[in-house]
């Protein structure tokens, strides 16, 4: 069975941070300090590569990537 979006998002997050990932998928990745302003661009690029998607500039709103669940929702919406 292929990895779920959830598993692949966690795997991608681990490539841009060395901190333990939150168990609460709604926890803010910014407020927890897991992502800072320079890790966020790296995350977006890593997501593009992992999911073979293009994140347009108009979607570059940090809120879309603020938690594991929001990232999953964004990826799912990209189809």
Partner 1 sequence: MSAYLDSFGFHVPERVVSNAELAQRVGCTAEWIESVSGIRERRWAAQETSVVDLAESAARDCLARANVDPSTVGLLIVASGSAPPGFPAPTAELAHRLGLNLTPAIDLPMASAGSIFGLVLASQLTDTYGNILVVAAEKMSAIIEAHPMEQNTAVLFGDGAGAAIVSTSGIRKLLKTAIHTDGQFRADLAYDWKSALQMNGLSVILQASRKLPTVISEVLAAAEIPASQIATVLVHQANQNLLVRVGKALQVAPEKIYSNVARYGNTSSASLLIAAAEWSRQNPPPGPVVFAGFGAGLHWGALVAE
Residues that bind partner 1 (CB under 8 A): 30, 37-38, 40-41, 44, 57-58, 60-62
Looking at residue 70, what DSSP letter applies? H
Nearer to partner 1, 23 or 61 (CB): 61
Q: Please, what is the Cα angle at 30 between 26 and 33, to 5 degrees?
A: 110
Measured in whole angstroms, the distance separating CA 18 from the mean position of its chain's CA atoms is: 14
- CB 4 to partner 1: min, Å: 26
Nearer to partner 1, 44 or 68 (CB): 44
Q: Do 55 and 48 form a contact (C-beta atoms < 8 A)?
A: yes
Nearer to partner 1, 30 or 51 (CB): 30
């Amino acid at each position: 069975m292929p990895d779920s979006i959830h598993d692949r998002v966690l795997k991608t997050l681990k490539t841009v941070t060395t901190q333990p990932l939150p168990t609460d998928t709604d926890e803010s990745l910014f407020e927890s300090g897991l992502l800072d302003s320079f890790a966020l661009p790296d995350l977006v690029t890593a997501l593009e590569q992992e999911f073979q998607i293009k994140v347009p500039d108009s979607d570059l709103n940090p809120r879309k990537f603020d938690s594991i669940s929001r990232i999953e929702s964004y990826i799912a919406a990209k189809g």
